[in-house]
Amino acid sequence: MEMKRTIGLWVLWCVGLTLAQAGELQPLVDRAVHSTLERFQSRGLKADQLAITLIDLSTTDRPLQASYRGEVLIYPASVIKLFYLAAAHRWLEDGKFADTPELRRAMRDMIVDSSNDATHYVIDLLTGTTSGPELPEAELKLWFEKRAVVTRHFLGLGYVGVNASKKPWGDGPYGRESQAIRAYEPKRNMLTTDATARLWVEIVTGRCVTPTRSAEMRALLLRDPAAKTEDLDDQAKFTGTELPEGAKLWSKAGWTSQTRHESAYVEMPSGQKYVLVVFTTDHASERAILRNVAAVVAAGMAKVRE
């Protein structure tokens, strides 16, 4: 299998960090890919159904990045909520809407519980749009343009591989939501693991909006990997199950009937700090794919900077 390597050169991106040569980091990502494809070969996992980005933040002034298919656009499921959270804090900082208890409740439920209903409320505030009955063509066009404001925000920051303009649904969409999908492109939210990892870096280094707001975002993303739960889809139980005792975890997972993703920031007891984003497609029921990648990465991170 030919590995597609995207060892980035993040010079001049907005967090102002200098990306060093990946050294042993790319081989670690390659091992994670090979191990996962080999383990799940009998289940039909293919090379184009996996994407990974890993960033070592153990020394924050010279982070390392390595990836596998990190630039490929993939439907992000609930990982997109991370971008809506960051946009909401930017809008709050700019005074575009009021900081109310109801907004804070929605932001919390969107991230902690991954509530789609809460996300709908946040998107309505961010974009000045609402769901509802179908619209005349001219009104629908204006509605669709308003819905793209979050995407335009991230593009303006130099992001590549972000479309954040749709609501996440359980049974929907209906009305003007499905009308717009039929009428206009893009039809779905899309992310890359590289873009997702970049946002994580900005949040954990305090450079997303402001240090204070970054800290507020991190507070919502904090998970307890040691927590006892029988919920197979608990967001702490993907990367979190493969971490040593004493490790700290911040994460946002997402899944549909066709996708299962994990995005996480980890602080190891040994001092290693890293962002890991893993997207999988067409194997949504295989939770162990995410765990296998996380296990290989966790085992290898301690050796990266020896």
DSSP states along 275-300: EEEEEEES-TT-HHHHHHHHHHHHHH
Mean pLDDT of 279-292: 96
pLDDT at 25 over 80: yes
Any idea what DSSP says for residue 244? P
| Full set of structural domains in the chain with CATH | 25-74+192-292 (3.30.450), 77-191 (no CATH)
Helices (H), 133-265: 137-147, 149-156, 176-183, 193-204, 211-221
pLDDT at 19 over 60: no
Choose the weakest-confidence range: 51-60, 103-112, 128-137: 51-60
CB atoms within 10 A of CB 5: 14
- pLDDT at position 244, please? 94
Which band of pLDDT confidence, cut at 50, 70 and 90, is reported for residue 226?
confident
Which band of pLDDT confidence, cut at 50, 70 and 90, is reported for residue 37?
very high
pLDDT at 304 over 70: no
Give CA–CA dist 273/59, Å, rounded. Answer: 8
pTM of the model: 0.92
Q: Which residues contact 264 (CB under 8 A, 6 or more apart)?
A: 200, 238, 239, 240, 249, 250, 251, 252, 275, 276, 277, 294
Q: Which residues contact 168 (CB under 8 A, 6 or more apart)?
A: 77, 78, 80, 81, 116, 119, 189
Q: Higher model confidence: residue 93 or residue 60?
A: 93
Q: What percent of the chain has pLDDT over 90?
A: 84
Give CA–CA dist 83/102, Å, rounded. Answer: 19
Give CA–CA dist 69/194, Å, rounded. Answer: 9
Mean pLDDT of 55-75: 92
Q: For the chain, give me the number of helices (H) and strands (E)?
A: 10, 8
pLDDT at 12 over 60: no
CB atoms within 10 A of CB 226: 12
Q: Higher model confidence: residue 227 or residue 182?
A: 182
Per-residue pLDDT tens for 113-124?
A: 999 999 999 999
Give CA–CA dist 234/173, Å, rounded. Answer: 25
Supply φ then ψ for residue 166, to 5 degrees.
Answer: -120, 155
Give CA–CA dist 94/123, Å, rounded. Answer: 16
- pLDDT at position 56, please? 97
pLDDT at 20 over 50: no
Which band of pLDDT confidence, cut at 50, 70 and 90, is reported for residue 139?
very high
Nearest to 192 by CA among 180, 200, 203, 184: 200
Which residues face 275 on adjacent strands?
55, 265
Give CA–CA dist 181/98, Å, rounded. Answer: 30
